[in-house]
């Protein structure tokens, strides 16, 4: 299966999945069968996004969020 994301989508999703994994995953996702795909997707995104380790990551993340938000 192939899922195609824009760079903005990938960085925003990666950030959200990272936060999800740092919580009590069992509290948020009640089916343990879903945990493995969550971890796999998050790991794939981390490898594909070297910017995660950039010093200006927070600014890049916020800029990506702004570009993805629908205009009012």
Angle subtended at Cα 11 by Cα 6 and Cα 17, rounded to the nearest 5 degrees: 120
Does residue 57 lie within any of the structural domains?
A: yes
Q: Give pLDDT tens digits for 20-72.
A: 888 877 788 888 899 899 999 999 998 888 776 788 989 999 999 999 999 87
Sequence-distant (≥ 6) Cβ neighbours of residue 25 within 8 angstroms: 35, 38
pLDDT (0 to 100) of residue 52: 67
Domain holding 50, by residue range, is: 7-67
Higher pLDDT, residue 51 or 7: 7
* Rounded distance between C-alpha atoms, residue 52 and residue 57, angstroms: 6
Does residue 72 lie within any of the structural domains?
A: no
Total tally of structural domains belonging to the chain: 1
Does residue 11 lie within any of the structural domains?
A: yes
């Amino acid at each position: 299966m192939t899922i195609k994301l824009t760079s903005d989508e990938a960085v925003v999703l990666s950030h959200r999945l990272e936060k999800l994994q740092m919580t009590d995953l069992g509290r948020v996702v009640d089916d343990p069968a879903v945990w493995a795909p969550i971890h796999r997707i998050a790991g794939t995104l981390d490898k594909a996004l070297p910017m995660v380790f950039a010093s200006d990551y927070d600014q890049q993340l916020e800029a990506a969020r702004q570009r993805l938000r629908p205009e009012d």
